[in-house]
Structure 1
């Protein structure tokens, strides 16, 4: 998320957990109280439909429980609960201070967060129309200014 997220930056506490409760996530500090959606093929495959996430600042995050990690690119990891399989986050793996992009449904309070951005809109499946007024970018528009993996997954 970009500077668009600045107006949604908050400082406080959020508590989240995976489906089975084996992984607990606490945010005590900075986070963005808004969701960004991604329709790239990697996110679609990972989440099963689309990837929606909100940002938590690394210093504010405490995770308890066993977490499995998958290197989805040479610069990022996707984390999940090894027991129930719940998606937990996407994060740059080449920077220890990188923010976490958390799955909103892990945190009850995030149900009230607005959708503020949607990327890879030209890759969006027909069965996932998102409504409302939010920023959008096509694949080409997003990739022109952001680190990404070349090409689409087969």
Structure 2
């Protein structure tokens, strides 16, 4: 976890301050993340009680378990959060909110086998988790919400 980080959306209307932002980025190629993120969605975990967000944020309950939020002025993604189920309260913030992605590094790609044919993320320190393996570790995702 890092010291306090400050960030903002593209237009600056949404301001974010986090005490203890994680130093790892997770990426996802599931259908829901692909549609919301425009290709690949990435997030940095933060404990909800360490996050302060101000500005015009809108959110959408994208599944039975989770919601996604964005700046209502410029559309920048702000967060992904579980609002129900086993992972209730789990929060990931968009790396783009922070300079240099909050000094975090990409360490994991889930639904890696679902990547579009046109691109692939490589790296020796990046774990690639298939849809089957990810859903086996997270069976609650199959409660009518799996992509």
Give me the TM-score of the superposition, normalised by structure 1: 0.85
Provide the residue aligned with 1:70 in structure 2: 60
Secondary structure, aligned partner of 1:49: coil
Does residue 138 of structure 1 match 2:130? yes
Separation (CA, whole Å) in 1 of partners of 2:123 and 2:146: 27
RMSD of aligned Cα (Å): 2.0
Aligned residue among 82, 85, 89 for 1:98? 89
Query: Which sits farther off after the overlay, 67-76 or 112-121?
Result: 112-121
Provide, for residues 14-60 of structure 1, a one-character-per-residue CA deviation record: whole Å limited to 9, x for no partner: 111111111101002x2211111100011000010101111111111
Do 2:114 and 2:131's aligned partners in 1 also have CA atoms closer than 8 Å? yes
Secondary structure, aligned partner of 2:4: strand
Separation (CA, whole Å) in 2 of partners of 1:89 and 1:14: 15
Aligned residue among 84, 90, 93 for 2:74? 84
Number of residues of Structure 1 aligned to a counterpart in Structure 2? 143
> After TM superposition, which residue ranges in structure 1, 4 or more long, deviate above 6 angstroms?
none
- Please, which runs of 5 or more residues in structure 1 have no aligned partner? 1-9
Provide the residue aligned with 1:108 in structure 2: 99
Separation (CA, whole Å) in 2 of partners of 1:86 and 1:73: 20
Separation (CA, whole Å) in 2 of partners of 1:129 and 1:112: 22
Structure 1 residue 138: Cα displacement: 0.6
